[in-house]
């Protein structure tokens, strides 16, 4: 009696891609002295363990009857109250315009589930965050990327693509963007460009999903308003942009807490999906974070996080300037966790990854951030949030040696 | 610039049913002295607040660097280790045969996502748990129910249905069952019946999803082995049955923690879906529960939970015997949270619900537990885990008066 599951799996399940990053990285484990620019993890030194421990104990002791019980699918009312108080993007929003989610990924999944049928088109930056691309593919979506310059995707190119897809009778369901400190490129879209993109999107009835996990991690330069805020408050357009923000990079991703804000009708549908997918996020974690905000601990903590990461970003930018040969291009991030290198055409990032082991360094080959079949290979993503400034300098020097040997 | 989301929602989203239970119940709010048999919530008196508060503080303080960080999609290794130690069903299982999930609902969703395409058939008991039925419908599944007797679904009927659907060229993806203290009927399937169903399922290559949220809540009678254990250990069939078990009814549903065990290939696919849907369950909650198990607190706590609920179940059964008129049938649960009443054909549970407000009682009309379009109306579900034994006696007396007035 052996079950034949291969005859039973859904089409999406059989076509599902796993991230190959995990496998690549496990091949670097156990290399002594390896300096890794590969991960995307926040540094555990930034987790406010003592405060969080105390607050969890307090809320469970005092409010356990409530928060150990089933909670609302739309999320904890008290957390929303605190979010509105401390986050300018949320000022004046109704409860029905906010959904608390099990991390950003969950918010992105519920958004896509609300909109996408098999064969529908999702527009995206290329390169973009692999996790989202894989989730979209798993729903049978057709990923179409739009050409970019240093300010982000190009509005005229977006119009052209939308026009062309319309002619082909395709359904474009949304545009997925990471405007702040993009993953993997580390770049930030200008205010002007954001407005232009929102205009094109509105014209073609294409909603925008603004993924904003890194927003608070700005170490230099001026804050740019979120696309959500620009659309709602500057352009009088409260419907087009939906934004997902996370506590993962500032409190700890293990808590699995994020929130998504947008049009009431869309948030309502996502809430119905939440009911079926998870019932609700963890009610204890939601209330603990509400209490953390209530005690006014978040903003000072974010400052310490910025102070922790700033020297790392600077060390990477300085080392790049100091060691890298001519013929390379790289981005100059003002925040976030990543810097992106474009190599000369003939150098393949995947092959370089293998050779890098001898130089005791690791990074993510850029090909991993493109939709299937549309990969570029002469690129790589470097993370600067995990290694120390000293490791960063040493590692970039080694990487420069490796790249020179290939040129 | 108004977005037209109605043109953009996916087919499933537009067809999605919400539970109408919530709306019905809000109509009973504010009735003074109302005794409610409607909910399915565990009693907050059973939550071990002090222990849980202490353990959360301890694990965040001692292991915060690890558990506030991103965790494995397949779940916390230490939690699995403890589960294997304390749960007989899990003895000897590999990590790859266990997936930790964001509550049972999440496990059920990931299971269905792994298997179901639009139009596929899912077999189920009727009546069954509304939450699962709604989730299956939202995936575009065709729900087919199998006739039941007091032992559960009837194996011969299952063969007939499977044979018929095969002839029609339908894909049956799985059979969904709650064999212990079923929701809503409160009944438990016999050992013999479980074996017979597994045999039919294996013959037709139909996997079984055994939903087991109430297993630990036995207040009378002898434990019946899980279908998972029977298939694996008695019948040498480790693949057919996948079982999902939860901490919701014994520690608190707000923690959103459950686990699902089954065939390695299927668990692997569910883990890929987890990566896309949630990344992972809350890592802090996982480790806290692992520590709770490690300190050997679970088994004594489950005993206190049983002692808390036992007098409530007994009060309900005794009151039913004492007050109810002839011409009614009801189930005799040995555990769980529910008892099911079959009314004379002419009495409609939905109409009774409205009249019950005057009698200051509430329950869930039975029609809510059937697939859309296949409702039965002469039935109702009563919960006995939330009201006190005294409230139960008073409430059942009132309910009997109401029913008598309709006969």
Token pair in block for residue A56: 């969890």
Task: State residue B324's pLDDT score.
Answer: 97
Inter-chain residue contact B284 with A56, CB threshold 8 Å: yes
Q: Express each pLDDT in A284-301 by its tens digit.
A: 999 999 999 999 999 999
Contact residues on chain B for A115, CB-CB shorter than 8 A: 8-10, 13
For residue A188, report the phi and psi dihedrals to the nearest 5 degrees.
Answer: -125, 135
Residue length, chain A?
407
- The string of DSSP codes covering A249-293 is TTT-GGG--EEEE--HHHHHHHHHHHHHHTSSS-HHHHHHHHHHH
Give, as one character, the DSSP assignment of residue A146. Answer: -
Contact residues on chain B for A197, CB-CB shorter than 8 A: none
Residue B1 binned pLDDT confidence (cut-offs 50, 70, 90): low
Nearest to A173 among B8, B49, B131 (CB): B8
The residue extents of the domains of chain B are 9-47+300-406, 70-296
Nearest to B13 among A4, A10, A269 (CB): A269
Contact residues on chain A for B234, CB-CB shorter than 8 A: none
Kindly identify which residue of chain B lies nearest to residue A72, measuring between CA atoms.
Answer: B254
Q: What angle do CA A36, A178, A315 make, to 5 degrees?
A: 35
Inter-chain residue contact A53 with B50, CB threshold 8 Å: no
Topology classification of domain A7-47+300-406: 3.90.1150
Q: Distance (Å) from the C-alpha of residue B379 to the closest C-alpha of chain A?
A: 25
Q: Which residues contact B298 (CB under 8 A, 6 or more apart)?
A: B86, B250, B292
Measure CA of the first residue to CA of the last residue in chain B; give whole Å: 59
Domain B70-296, architecture per CATH: 3-Layer(aba) Sandwich (3.40)
DSSP reduced 3-state for A124? strand
Q: Distance (Å) from the C-alpha of residue B35 to the closest C-alpha of chain A?
A: 19
Nearest to A53 among B60, B115, B173 (CB): B60
Q: Distance (Å) from the C-alpha of residue B116 to the closest C-alpha of chain A?
A: 5
CATH pick for B9-47+300-406 out of 3.90.1150.10, 3.55.50.30, 3.40.50.620, 3.90.320.10? 3.90.1150.10
Residue at token pair 């310059």: A149
Nearest to A256 among B105, B171, B281 (CB): B281
Residue A348 buriedness (CB in 10 A; 0-12 / 13-18 / 19+): middle
Q: Express each pLDDT in B77-92 by its tens digit.
A: 999 999 999 999 998 9
* CA B83/CA A334 separation, integer angstroms: 45
- Select the residue from A256, A270, A285 to test the B interface by mutation, using most B Cβ atoms within 10 A: A256
- Select the residue from B276, B282, B287, B383 to test the A interface by mutation, using most A Cβ atoms within 10 A: B276
Inter-chain residue contact A254 with B71, CB threshold 8 Å: yes
Inter-chain residue contact B202 with A1, CB threshold 8 Å: yes
Task: State residue A60's pLDDT score.
Answer: 98
CB atoms < 10 A from the CB of A190, how many?
14
Whether residue B265 has pLDDT greater than 80 = yes
Inter-chain residue contact A68 with B50, CB threshold 8 Å: no
Q: Distance (Å) from the C-alpha of residue B8 to the closest C-alpha of chain A?
A: 6
* CA B6/CA A268 separation, integer angstroms: 12
* CA A117/CA A108 separation, integer angstroms: 15
Label the pairing between strands A121-124 and A172-177: parallel
* CA B153/CA B145 separation, integer angstroms: 9
Token pair in block for residue B261: 């065990």
Kindly identify which residue of chain B lies nearest to residue A269, measuring between CA atoms.
Answer: B13
* CA A126/CA A192 separation, integer angstroms: 20
Kindly identify which residue of chain A lies nearest to residue B64, measuring between CA atoms.
Answer: A49
Label the pairing between strands B172-177 and B208-212: parallel
Nearest to A47 among B68, B240, B281 (CB): B68
Inter-chain residue contact B285 with A281, CB threshold 8 Å: no
Residue at token pair 């029913």: B403
- Percent share of chain B, pLDDT over 70: 99
Residue B42 binned pLDDT confidence (cut-offs 50, 70, 90): very high
Contact residues on chain A for B284, CB-CB shorter than 8 A: 56, 254-255, 285
Inter-chain residue contact B253 with A69, CB threshold 8 Å: yes
Radius of gyration of chain B (CA): 22
Q: Express each pLDDT in A93-138 by its tens digit.
A: 999 999 999 999 999 999 999 999 999 999 999 999 999 999 999 8
Contact residues on chain B for A277, CB-CB shorter than 8 A: 105-106, 109, 135, 277
Q: Distance (Å) from the C-alpha of residue B202 to the closest C-alpha of chain A?
A: 6
Topology classification of domain A63-296: 3.40.640
- Select the residue from B7, B60, B114, B281 to test the A interface by mutation, using most A Cβ atoms within 10 A: B60
Task: State residue A1's pLDDT score.
Answer: 65
Q: What angle do CA B328, B329, B334 make, to 5 degrees?
A: 140
- The string of DSSP codes covering A319-370 is HHHHHPPTT-EE---SBSSEEEEEPPTT--HHHHHHHHGGGTEE-EEGGGGS
Q: Distance (Å) from the C-alpha of residue B205 to the closest C-alpha of chain A?
A: 6
Q: Distance (Å) from the C-alpha of residue B75 to the closest C-alpha of chain A?
A: 11
Q: What angle do CA B45, B314, B394 make, to 5 degrees?
A: 80
Closest listed residue to residue A89, CA positions, set A198, A216, A222, A266: A216
Q: Distance (Å) from the C-alpha of residue B346 to the closest C-alpha of chain A?
A: 34
* CA B183/CA B181 separation, integer angstroms: 7
Kindly identify which residue of chain B lies nearest to residue A13, measuring between CA atoms.
Answer: B114
Q: Distance (Å) from the C-alpha of residue B198 to the closest C-alpha of chain A?
A: 10
* CA B218/CA B334 separation, integer angstroms: 6
**Mean pLDDT, range B261-275, rounded to an integer:** 96
Nearest to A9 among B3, B52, B114 (CB): B114
Going residue by residue through chain A, which has 407 residues, state the pLDDT in tens, using 9 for 90 and above: 678 999 999 999 998 877 677 777 778 888 999 999 998 899 999 999 999 999 999 999 999 999 999 999 999 999 999 999 999 999 899 999 999 999 999 999 999 999 999 999 999 999 999 999 999 998 999 999 998 888 999 999 999 999 999 999 999 999 999 999 999 999 999 999 999 999 999 999 999 999 999 999 999 999 999 999 999 999 999 999 999 999 999 999 999 999 999 999 999 999 999 999 999 999 999 999 999 999 999 999 999 999 999 999 999 999 999 999 999 999 999 999 999 999 999 999 999 999 999 999 999 999 999 988 889 999 999 999 999 999 999 999 999 999 999 98
Inter-chain residue contact B115 with A10, CB threshold 8 Å: yes
Task: State residue B65's pLDDT score.
Answer: 96
Inter-chain residue contact A52 with B44, CB threshold 8 Å: no
Contact residues on chain B for A52, CB-CB shorter than 8 A: 60, 64, 68
Q: How many CB pairs under 8 A join A and B?
A: 285
| Beta carbons of B390 and B344 less than 8 angstroms apart | no
Inter-chain residue contact A57 with B53, CB threshold 8 Å: yes
Kindly identify which residue of chain B lies nearest to residue A69, measuring between CA atoms.
Answer: B254
Contact residues on chain A for B58, CB-CB shorter than 8 A: 53
DSSP reduced 3-state for A153? strand
Nearest to A106 among B8, B41, B277 (CB): B277
Kindly identify which residue of chain A lies nearest to residue B271, measuring between CA atoms.
Answer: A18
Inter-chain residue contact B280 with A239, CB threshold 8 Å: no
CB atoms < 10 A from the CB of A57, how many?
21
Task: State residue A129's pLDDT score.
Answer: 94
Kindly identify which residue of chain B lies nearest to residue A118, measuring between CA atoms.
Answer: B10
For residue B202, report the phi and psi dihedrals to the nearest 5 degrees.
Answer: -65, -40
Kindly identify which residue of chain B lies nearest to residue A255, measuring between CA atoms.
Answer: B282
Measure CA of the first residue to CA of the last residue in chain A; give whole Å: 59
* CA A109/CA A1 separation, integer angstroms: 36
Task: State residue A373's pLDDT score.
Answer: 84
Whether residue B21 has pLDDT greater than 80 = no
Contact residues on chain B for A265, CB-CB shorter than 8 A: 5-6
Whether residue B28 has pLDDT greater than 70 = yes
Contact residues on chain A for B109, CB-CB shorter than 8 A: 276-278
Q: Express each pLDDT in B292-334 by its tens digit.
A: 999 999 999 999 999 999 999 999 999 999 999 999 999 999 9
Task: State residue A65's pLDDT score.
Answer: 96
């Amino acid at each position: 009696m052996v079950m034949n599951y291969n005859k039973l799996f859904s089409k999406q399940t059989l076509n599902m891609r796993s991230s190959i990053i995990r496998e690549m990285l496990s091949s670097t484990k156990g290399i002594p002295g390896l300096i890794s620019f590969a991960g995307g993890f926040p540094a555990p030194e930034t987790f406010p363990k003592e405060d969080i421990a105390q607050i969890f104990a307090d809320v469970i002791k005092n409010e356990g009857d409530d928060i150990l019980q089933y909670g609302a699918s739309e999320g904890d009312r008290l957390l929303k109250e605190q979010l509105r108080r401390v986050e300018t993007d949320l000022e004046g929003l109704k409860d029905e315009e906010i959904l608390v989610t099990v991390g950003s990924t969950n918010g992105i999944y519920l958004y896509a589930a609300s909109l996408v049928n098999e064969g529908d088109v999702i527009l995206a930056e290329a390169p973009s965050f692999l996790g989202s691309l894989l989730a979209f593919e798993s729903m049978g979506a057709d990923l179409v990327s739009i050409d970019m310059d240093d300010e982000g995707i190009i509005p005229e190119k977006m119009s052209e693509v939308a026009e062309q897809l319309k002619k082909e009778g395709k359904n474009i369901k949304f545009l997925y963007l990471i405007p702040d400190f993009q993953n993997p490129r580390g770049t930030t879209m200008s205010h002007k460009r954001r407005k232009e993109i929102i205009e094109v999107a509105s014209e073609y009835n294409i909603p925008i999903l603004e993924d904003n996990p890194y927003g608070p991690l700005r170490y230099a330069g001026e804050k740019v308003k979120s696309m959500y805020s620009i659309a709602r408050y500057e352009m009088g357009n409260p419907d087009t942009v939906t934004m997902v923000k996370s506590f993962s990079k500032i409190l700890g991703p293990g808590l699995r807490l994020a929130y998504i804000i947008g049009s009431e009708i869309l948030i309502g549908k996502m809430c119905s999906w939440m009911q079926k997918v998870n019932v609700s996020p963890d009610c204890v974690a939601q209330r603990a974070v509400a209490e953390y905000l209530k005690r006014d601990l978040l903003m000072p903590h974010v400052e310490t996080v910025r102070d922790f990461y700033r020297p790392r970003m600077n060390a990477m930018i300085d080392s790049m300037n100091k060691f890298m040969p001519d013929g390379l291009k790289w981005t100059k991030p003002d925040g976030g966790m990543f810097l992106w290198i474009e190599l000369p055409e003939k150098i393949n990032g995947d092959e370089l990854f293998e050779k890098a082991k001898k130089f005791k360094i690791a990074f993510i080959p850029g090909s991993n951030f493109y939709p299937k079949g549309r990969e570029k290979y002469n690129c790589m993503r470097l993370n600067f949030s995990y290694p120390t400034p000293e490791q960063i300098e040493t590692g970039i020097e080694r990487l420069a040696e490796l790249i020179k040997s290939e040129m």
